[in-house]
Structure 1
C-alpha cells in the first residue's frame, strides 16, 4: 500500500501543479494575493471594510484548491461554472462599491491605497467573470442537413 501511495504522489503533484499554469489558475492566485494586500491596507487604516477582502480571499482560495485538485469533477451536483461566475461578478460589484465609498471618504494613505487596489480588484474580478461566463464557453455545432440513411 505504501508503494502505491508513493508512485501516485508524483502524478497527483503534477496534476495539482499543472493548474497553476492555466489562465484560471493565474487569475485565482492573483485574486488571492490582491485580496490579501487590500486586507493589509484596510487593517492598518480601518477594519470597517476588511470583511469583503477576507470573504473574497477565502472563496477564491477554496475554488483554487477545488480546481487545482480536480475536485470540481468529483462533485457533480454543483454547477461550477455558474458558481465561479457569480462569485467573481458579485466580488467585482462589491469591490467597486466599496472602493468608491473609501475613495470618497478619504483618510490616510493606506485607506486610499486600499481604495485604488479595490478598483484594480474590480477589474480583475470583472475579467474573471467575463472569462468564466458559462454561456460564453458553450460551443454549438451545426446540425446535420443531409439525411443519415443515405436515401435521396
Structure 2
C-alpha cells in the first residue's frame, strides 16, 4: 500500500516523511490529517463541541496509517491486512464526516463556527471518499483472477 519510490532503509525519519508525502497516498493522508485538524478547530470553537470526537478519531487514525505506510511497517507486520483496514477506515470516515457535516450545516443557524466546521467536514468527507475510491481501485487491480480449466479430461 505504501507507494514510496525509494526504499532507503538508512534514511532518517524526516527524509521518509518528505518522500512519502510526495506520493499520491501520502498526499491524500496528509490532506485528511490537515482537514481533520481544521474541522476539529471549527467544532471546538462552536457552541456545540460534541462533534469534535469525529474529527479527533479520524485524524488519529489517519496519522496512524500515515506513520505505518511511511515507515513501511505494513511490509514488516503482515498479520494485519493493511489495505482492507485502510479501506474500512476511509469508508467509515467518509460516511461519518458526511453525515455529521450535513447535520451541522443544516442545524447550525446562528453558530458560524459550527457551519464552517460543517463545510470543511463536507470537503473532508469528499477527500475520505476519494481515498476510499483509490483504495478500492488498488484492491480491484491487485486481485488475481485464475482462469477456469477448460480441459474435459479429469
TM-score, shorter chain, exceeding 0.5: yes
Q: The TM-score by the shorter chain falls in which range?
A: 0.7 to 0.9
Q: 1:59 aligns with which of 58, 61, 71?
A: 61
Instruction: Give runs of aligned pairs for residues 17-56 of structure 1, distance below 5 A.
Output: 17-45=18-46, 46-56=48-58
Matches of residues 67-86 of structure 1 in structure 2 within 5 Å? 67-86=69-88
Instruction: Give the TM-score, by structure 1 length.
Output: 0.82
Task: Note if contact 1:17-1:68 (Cα within 8 Å) is conserved in structure 2.
Answer: no
Q: Write out per-residue CA displacement over residues 79-110 of structure 1, whole angstroms, 9 at most, x where no aligned residue.
A: 01100000000000001110111112123111
Q: Note the aligned Cα RMSD (angstroms).
A: 2.1
Question: C-alpha distance in 2, partners of 1:16/1:104?
Answer: 38
Partner of 2:121 in structure 1? Answer: 118
How far the C-alpha of 1:137 sits from its partner, in A, is: 3.0
In the alignment, the residues of structure 1 paired with residue 14 and residue 50 of structure 2 have an alpha-carbon distance, to the nearest angstrom, of 39
Instruction: Answer yes or no: is the 8 Å Cα contact 1:38–1:117 preserved in 2.
Output: yes
CA distance in 1, matches of 2:123, 2:19: 27
Q: What TM-score comes out, normalization by structure 2 length?
A: 0.81
Q: Give structure 1 stretches of 5+ with no counterpart.
A: 1-7, 146-152
* Alpha-carbon distance in structure 2 between the residues aligned to 1:50 and 1:92: 15
- Report the secondary structure of 1:132's partner residue: helix
Pick the aligned partner of 2:133 from 130, 135, 139: 130
**1:102-140 deviation digits (Å, cap 9, x = unpaired):** 112123111111111111011100000000115323155
**Separation of aligned partners in 1, 2:30 and 2:98:** 20
Greater Rg over alpha carbons, structure: 1
Structure 2 gap ranges (5+): 1-8, 150-154
- Aligned residue pairs total 137
Q: 1:14: how far off?
A: 4.0
**Residues 71 and 109 (structure 1), Cα distance of their counterparts in 2 relative to 1, 3 Å cut:** same
Q: Secondary structure at the match of 1:49?
A: helix
Q: Once the 2 structures are TM-superposed, how far is the Cα of residue 16 of structure 1 from its aligned partner?
A: 4.4
Q: Distance in 2 between the 1:93 and 1:105 partners?
A: 18
